[in-house]
Structure 1
């Protein structure tokens, strides 16, 4: 770690009392600065439709937390039905950040997400609240967790993976699209429709927008039978593409787990989706919410010591001040 990164680390992280004492002080009257601990963040991942937002809100109501949205379509303003944003009622008073705040015609990149997410998280932790990152865009989360130096130096992560068997999830996703159509999905896209629009930019990339192009472009002048056929094809394509998205997201999560060795806590919610009766809430609490609460409680409160700077940072600090420190005496981060 170079001097610039060291200065970033020292300015970014909170101080804790040193766990290593040197009798008589350091040579030359040097005073070893207190070691630094990282703030904690919970990250909820999973394929589309698995209940990530619900779990994040459940946790936020129990741990004085705020949620940072990491869904690359939900960051944009508009198309609340198409992008399946949580409603005000579903938020249950929990503050949400980066949800419906970005210009829908802009391209909000992973780099943009990292920049804004870090700013939001700093605000959250400054108020002694827990940041919870939740969303289906694993490219955003990967960019933040794996490739952003400031995040890696400042935060310790707890990963919760809400998983549902794909055949069961595909059935649920199909039903959800039908409900979204009933709620006004087509009319919502119609208000945004522009025959000259670029479907590779901004919110128009969202599943549900390009698929309705042919219906909105030609349906107005078509007879009723043709119009109905065009709409049926569009809805079928929305379902197909949403199922493909779920499959790709699942593959990405597994890849991230294998490549970066994220310590993920997998929560199997398949039983919740199979139980569509009034017992579904009980199944959710039993299989997802309660286990997650226990995991996060241990992550926040039951670690043996505060999470301390890594071995790499400790070595860099020793090298910087010219004092050999026996690494065996430096407490390592709790797992």
Structure 2
């Protein structure tokens, strides 16, 4: 099997593709998998995952017509010429496009060479690249059932492929690994991601209001930039606090962190929500306000509408508001159970296997 994957920019357009790449190589040890992307996050993450990476020129299209739009079209045209060369040399049996503007030149080149294209759209609102290329795609794999309506006759609801092992966490192991208290309600706060400064600040501002919350534990991934400030905030709580606050710059063992958590506070990126819903964790979601076309707000609303989350818009986020939302859930195990069930209705823990089957079908149908 020879498979080309293209996409990038944000984690939602990278990590699902890497999960598929790993699944392909596990199922087909002789498979050749190559990734074509831009100069953003994918240029660092993909090679670290052991996948061969080739850079292509690409640029996002501005929403307004002007000089920048013309420049972007020219850059992407050059990128398409580069992609034509890559495709002719690599000769893949199929191309998986994971979204982001880095996927556009490769998708255009694949269409010109009549190489079958499988699109994957993780968000509730399809991105521009997906919308532009969908009419020529062999199939469009979507992360959410509601998204399928955008692609009649071509959509397959797969879910968002998950990183290996993320569903295999063990609560007791997580409690030991992170030095948590096993008898407390644990709120896992994911504030270390891109654009999560507001969540970090709100958590720190919430600590005084939560200080006397005996039985509650905040496990806070801060990111490197906020680690020192979080340490100072923890020290200010003092010995008499009922709240237990544990902060780490980065959590590598996310499976055990999720397993130890009773609720999650996070942004509403597609990958994070795929993990949260597959695990059935109640969530407090704060959509990133600057995501393209407000797609994180749409992602969050889908989970909230299913009963799996409380959504707080970034403009409404304060320490007091977050503290109250955490306390409301921490004190109400019955509500958390209902929310967990609602979350699971959107979860698709077999998404990677379903995507692998689609890739195999595409490649098999086209002689790969």
TM-score by length of 1: 0.32
TM-score by length of 2: 0.30
Bigger RCO of structures 1 and 2 (CA < 8 A, at least 6 apart): 1
Q: Over alpha carbons, which structure has the higher Rg?
A: 1
Structure with a larger share of its residues in helix: 1
